[in-house]
Amino acid sequence: MNQSLVSKALFRSIRLNTGFAFVFPCLLLLLLVLGFPAFVAVANSFTPVWSNVKTFTLDNYIKLQQDKQFWESLRVTIVFVAGTVSLHLILGLGVALALNTEPLGNWFFRIIAILPWTVPDVISGLVWRFMYDPTAGIINYFLDRLGVQNPYVEWLAAPHLALPSVIFADVWRGYPFVMLILLAGLQAIPKELYEAARVDGASVLQEFRHITIPGLSRMFQVAFALDVIWQFRRFGLVYNMTQGGPGNATDILPLAIYRQYFRYFNFEYASAMAVVLAVIMIAISIPYVRMMVKRT
């Protein structure tokens, strides 16, 4: 038997175990902080954990299936996520491309571009609510100055406007993260590729199509997966802007769960809703995790 191969294998297993030892406290913490509540939530959705009467039941899921408001919330959530994520990607890519040209005062524009992301989403929600206010908000003020006939646009109070208004605010809040990832991706594309293309007489559009897009695809996938997961969990911004109203127009699932759990104390029912949301997010994140695993 080859001596060095054995020692190599041994060395490798020690290294792996040391690695595990380093990761272990973190894993333990994750299990305690995330795993335990998650376990309780799942258990709670089948049987009341906090009650003396403990019987296994699927009632909560059956009720969920018949709950029109739940399906409506799910629909609103999907529109919200689809709207915000696609606009985050489009705006993020646009700004990343602009910043990648390294304009004069690059650092200044970078700071400006990233500012919305530094504001907690709760605060963003409050700020946008004030800006959208029909009578006192700055948006309608400008519309009025521009000579718009009926300047009292009910941005958050009209059912067909509320969701687009909320999505718009969230695009402002959330695009910098996508922009940062894509900017990093852009800067990782070797400049030589562009130079070579230019020598071959490629147009800007062709460069974009054949170098930038393929070079960015990985980063695009990462940004997409993370953003989708985060947007499914968005709470503070919408809560502070509309509380889900008017009616159910902006009632995304996290708000519905919050209301059931913290306002109505329907702990088991809220847990069932949360489990459904978690299952959706896990399903979405599987490709992302597989991608990460493949890379390493």
Binding site for other proteins (CB under 8 A): 50, 129, 133-135, 144, 151-152, 154, 156-159, 242-249, 258-259, 262-266
Structure tokens at 25: 């406290």
Smallest distance from other proteins to CB 248, Å: 7
CA–CA dist 178, 228 (Å, integer): 11
Helix, strand or coil, per DSSP, at residue 256: helix
Between 160 and 294, whose beta carbon lies closer to other proteins?
160
Of 121, 157, 151, give the one whose Cα is nearest residue 136.
151
Torsion sign (Cα): 277, 283, 287, 290 = positive
Give 22's contacts (C-beta < 8 A, 6+ positions apart): none
Max distance between CA atoms of the chain, in angstroms, equals 89
8 Å CB contact between 194 and 97: no
Q: Alpha helix (H) ranges present in the chain? A: 3-30, 36-46, 59-66, 68-100, 106-118, 121-132, 138-145, 159-188, 191-199, 204-207, 213-232, 236-241, 253-258, 267-295
Residue with smaller CB distance to other proteins, 74 or 228: 74
Q: Which two tokens mark 229?
A: 């997961």
Minimum CB separation of residue 156 from other proteins in Å reads 5
Given the complex with other proteins, which of 26 and 136 has the nearer CB atom?
136
Does residue 134 sit in helix, strand or coil? Answer: coil
The residue among 120 and 247 lying less far from other proteins, judged by its C-beta, is: 247
Shortest distance in whole angstroms from residue 186 CB to other proteins: 40
Whole-number minimum distance, CB 93 to other proteins, in Å? 33
**CB nearer to other proteins: pick between 92 and 244:** 244
Query: Angle 39-42-47 (CA atoms, 0-180°, nearest 5)?
Result: 115
Nearest to 250 by CA among 179, 168, 185, 159: 159
In the complex, what is the shortest distance from the CB of residue 135 to other proteins, in angstroms, rounded to a whole number?
6
Quote the distance between the C-alpha of residue 65 and its chain's center: 26
CB of 71 to other proteins, least distance (A): 14
Taking the least distance from each CB to other proteins, the nearer of 101 and 135 is 135
Report the residue number, 180 or 249, with the smaller CB distance to other proteins: 249
Nearer to other proteins by Cβ, of 86 and 248: the residue is 248
H or E element that contains 292: helix 267-295
Name the minimum Å distance from CB 212 to other proteins: 42
Place of tokens 């175990």: 17
Distance CA 45, CA 62 (A): 11
Q: What minimum distance in Å lies between the beta carbon of 84 and other proteins?
A: 20
- DSSP codes joined into one string, 168-181: HHHHHHHHHHHHHH
